Amino acid sequence: GAVVSQHPSRVICKSGTSVKIECRSLDFQATTMFWYRQFPKQSLMLMATSNEGSKATYEQGVEKDKFLINHASLTLSTLTVTSAHPEDSSFYICSARAIQGAQETQYFGPGTRLLVL
């Protein structure tokens, strides 16, 4: 199946710093990648849709100036949490669309756990 990686897997930072998370599709090209956020014991909440070569589309309530998304190539999207605060601590998961049979399916990365002190 399609493999999606994320880096780093875990990061601890001080309040006010910026953190960059990378999402890579390893064995396929993804014109569209997605960024999700997941709090403990909750479902995944879509933050934004990242399209290669164009601006990301953000979901309602997600600050685009705080969560900067760059989709520079067909295999890489980055999420930068700017001026992170403790309330930004969460599990961030990316996914990428790949063709599974005749259907486009989303495959997920392993997630990045962010802890802001």
Q: Count of alpha carbons within 13 Å of 42, Cβ hemisphere only?
A: 11
CB of 70 to other proteins, least distance (A): 20
Residues that bind other proteins (CB under 8 A): 1, 4, 6, 34, 41-46, 49, 91, 93, 95, 100, 103-111, 113
Class of residue 84 by CB neighbours under 10 A (exposed 0-12, middle 13-18, buried 19+): buried
Residue 7, token pair as written in the block: 């880096």
3-class SS at 74?
coil
Per the CB < 8 A criterion, the answer to whether 69 and 79 are in contact is yes
Least Å distance, CB 52 to other proteins, is 16
| Residue among 49 and 89 whose Cβ is closer to other proteins | 49
Minimum gap (Å) between residue 69 Cβ and other proteins: 16
